[in-house]
């Protein structure tokens, strides 16, 4: 109760442990069987088309009713421990990457995977596939798996993760297939040709240790990976580029070659270092898009089109619309900025020119999944995060302590020039602290210290 009181006293200073997430186990376990929402609309910022956002399968997005009262807390629930039923045809000792498998199983836990897929589960699952591919090929000249072996090993990976509490539907949730392990259409798949073609010293120097605060805006590793992918795809790089089909095919080849580059890095780097680097690269991708589905805000436009002052009907309509958005998933603070700006641009296109976010007191956290059904919201930090489980506090992960920032209203109806890296950007700096608190008992003093520190920073501008 002390945690709940502290959260109410300090709006936006959410207790870090998410065991307050009040969603019934029964509702959670039946989430896939219920009516599914329409296809998720990925709102992408302008890019080269090479670094694609991680796509989340819309068939597994959670859809559950908001009840009129607070539900009992969600307590951890794991399936009965069982021995994975492996194919027996994947010649790999999974204990060699046991720490990565444990981390992936935790990040993709059966209950939370659909809600943290975009930010936590899918980036970690993708990283584990890269690391598996690299470790599998360490004793051979190949950097990829043959199709049949890939099918068998992919099945075993999913089975091993499920035996450790992961959601068995992770491949569907994250849109990964066994073909991700094969190198696809990349013309270079053996290590000898790879190391003759690529400046491997440059690649290793760029990606061994990545600065998580700089990589997304002043990239070092991403260009090195792309350069290597271009080099090993060069045998097909000039073919058919004059047609739309040829361009599409070349992009597919580049993406397949990127997986070969990841496999080579996984052979050369320690598993933890490779996992850290791959997760940071994923964070750069997922934080460039809004993963939420936005229906046309027709009712909001009708109620808010001509308002110039706080309007109960306008705010009621806006709050109802955003309440539907809140049901989808947990998102990061950077994603929330993009989501808020995208919705604002939709409203401006419909003729709503007044900043109704300010009029209706809409914050960034209002675009993420809510705790206690609307009492508090949780925005995840933009840096890579993990789900943690312990017996005393249940599931926990770090929330952004500055999530009470007002939602930004766009200056125009266009998102074409929007960038979170623009030097002239006037939005408040996002937090960089990696402090994780073990529980809410006795947290009030810590919250007082944090809030006071944030207040002092705010006063000092």
Q: Which residues contact 121 (CB under 8 A, 6 or more apart)?
A: 107, 108, 112, 113, 167, 170, 173, 174
pLDDT at 85: 77
pLDDT at 402: 60
Give the 3-state secondary structure of residue 437: coil
Burial (CB count <10 Å: 0-12, 13-18, 19+), residue 336: buried
**Longest CA pairwise span in the chain (Å):** 69
Higher pLDDT, 278 or 49: 278
Residues 146-151, mean pLDDT to the nearest whole number: 95
* Strands of 227-348, DSSP E: 289-290
Nearest-Å Rg of the Cα atoms of the chain is 23
Residue 422: which pLDDT band, with cuts at 50, 70 and 90? low
Residues 30-47, mean pLDDT to the nearest whole number: 33
Name the average pLDDT for the chain: 75
% of the chain residues with pLDDT over 90: 52
Higher pLDDT, 446 or 366: 366
Residues 137-145, mean pLDDT to the nearest whole number: 92
Residues 128-141, mean pLDDT to the nearest whole number: 94
Q: Sign of the CA dihedral 454, 73, 123, 287? A: negative
- The torsion angles phi and psi of 66, rounded to 5 degrees, stand at -85, 125
Residues 354-367, mean pLDDT to the nearest whole number: 93
Asked whether residue 49 carries a pLDDT value surpassing 50, the answer given is: no
Give the 3-state secondary structure of residue 14: coil
CA separation for the pair 49, 254 (Å, rounded): 11
Residue 11: which pLDDT band, with cuts at 50, 70 and 90? very low
Asked whether residue 300 carries a pLDDT value surpassing 70, the answer given is: yes
Residues 111-132, mean pLDDT to the nearest whole number: 94
Asked whether residue 400 carries a pLDDT value surpassing 80, the answer given is: no
Burial (CB count <10 Å: 0-12, 13-18, 19+), residue 85: exposed
Higher pLDDT, 206 or 67: 206
User: In this predicted structure, which of 71-75, 173-177, 315-319 has the lowest mean pLDDT?
Assistant: 71-75
* Strands of 40-171, DSSP E: 43-44
Residue 445: which pLDDT band, with cuts at 50, 70 and 90? very low
Of these ranges, 70-74, 274-278, 332-336, the one predicted with the greatest mean pLDDT is 274-278
pLDDT at 234: 86
Token code pair at residue 325: 């958005």
Entry field: residues in the chain? 461
Asked whether residue 107 carries a pLDDT value surpassing 90, the answer given is: yes
pLDDT at 397: 72
Residue 415: which pLDDT band, with cuts at 50, 70 and 90? low
Pick from 450, 453, 454: which is nearest to 16 by CA?
450
CA separation for the pair 259, 308 (Å, rounded): 52
pLDDT at 236: 52
Q: Residues 327, 330, 335, 339: what is their CA dihedral angle, to the nearest 10 degrees?
A: 10
**CB distance 251 to 307 below 8 Å:** no
Pick from 251, 224, 222: which is nearest to 236 by CA?
251
CA separation for the pair 338, 351 (Å, rounded): 20
Burial (CB count <10 Å: 0-12, 13-18, 19+), residue 184: middle
pLDDT at 396: 74
Asked whether residue 404 carries a pLDDT value surpassing 90, the answer given is: no
User: In this predicted structure, which of 144-148, 263-267, 373-377 has the lowest mean pLDDT?
Assistant: 373-377
């Amino acid at each position: 109760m002390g945690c709940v009181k502290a959260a109410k006293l300090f709006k936006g200073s959410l207790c870090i442990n998410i065991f307050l997430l009040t969603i019934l186990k029964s509702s959670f376990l039946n989430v896939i069987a219920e009516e599914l929402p329409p296809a998720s609309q990925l709102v992408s910022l302008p890019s080269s088309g090479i670094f694609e956002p991680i796509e989340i399968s819309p068939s597994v997005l959670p859809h559950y009713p908001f009840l009129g009262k607070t539900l009992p807390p969600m307590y951890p629930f794991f399936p009965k421990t069982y021995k994975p039923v492996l194919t027996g045809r994947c010649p790999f000792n999974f204990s060699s990457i046991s720490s990565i498998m444990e981390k992936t199983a935790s990040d993709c836990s059966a209950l939370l995977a659909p809600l943290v897929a975009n930010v936590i589960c899918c980036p970690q699952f993708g990283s584990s596939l890269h690391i598996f591919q690299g470790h599998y090929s360490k004793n051979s000249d190949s950097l990829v798996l043959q199709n049949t072996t890939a099918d068998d090993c992919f099945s075993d990976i999913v089975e091993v993760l499920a035996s450790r509490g992961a959601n068995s539907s992770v491949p569907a949730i994250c849109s990964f297939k066994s073909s991700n392990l094969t190198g696809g259409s990349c013309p270079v798949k053996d290590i000898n040709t790879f190391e003759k073609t690529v400046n491997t010293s440059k690649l290793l120097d760029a990606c061994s240790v990545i600065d998580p605060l700089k990589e997304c805006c002043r990239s070092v590793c991403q260009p090195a990976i792309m350069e290597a992918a271009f080099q090993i795809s060069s045998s097909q790089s000039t073919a058919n580029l004059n047609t739309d089909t040829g361009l599409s095919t070349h992009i597919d080849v580049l993406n397949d070659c990127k997986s070969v580059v990841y496999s080579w890095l996984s052979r050369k780097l320690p598993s933890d270092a490779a996992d850290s680097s791959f997760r940071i690269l994923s964070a750069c991708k997922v934080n460039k898009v809004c993963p939420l589905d936005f229906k046309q805000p027709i009712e909001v436009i009708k109620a808010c089109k001509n308002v110039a002052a706080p309007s109960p009907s306008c705010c009621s309509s806006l709050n109802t619309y955003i309440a539907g958005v809140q049901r989808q998933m947990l998102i990061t603070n950077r994603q929330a900025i993009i989501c808020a700006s995208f919705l604002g641009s939709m409203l401006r296109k419909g003729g709503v020119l007044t900043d109704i976010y300010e009029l209706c007191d809409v914050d960034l956290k209002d675009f993420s999944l809510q705790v206690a059904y609307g009492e508090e919201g949780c925005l995840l930090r933009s840096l890579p995060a993990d789900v943690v489980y312990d017996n005393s506090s249940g599931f926990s992960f770090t929330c952004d302590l500055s999530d009470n920032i007002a939602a930004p209203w766009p200056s125009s109806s266009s998102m074409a020039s929007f960038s979170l890296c623009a030097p002239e950007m006037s939005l408040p700096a996002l937090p960089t602290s990696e402090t994780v608190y073990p529980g809410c008992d006795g947290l009030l003093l810590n919250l007082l210290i944090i809030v006071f520190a944030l207040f002092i920073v705010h006063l000092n501008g």
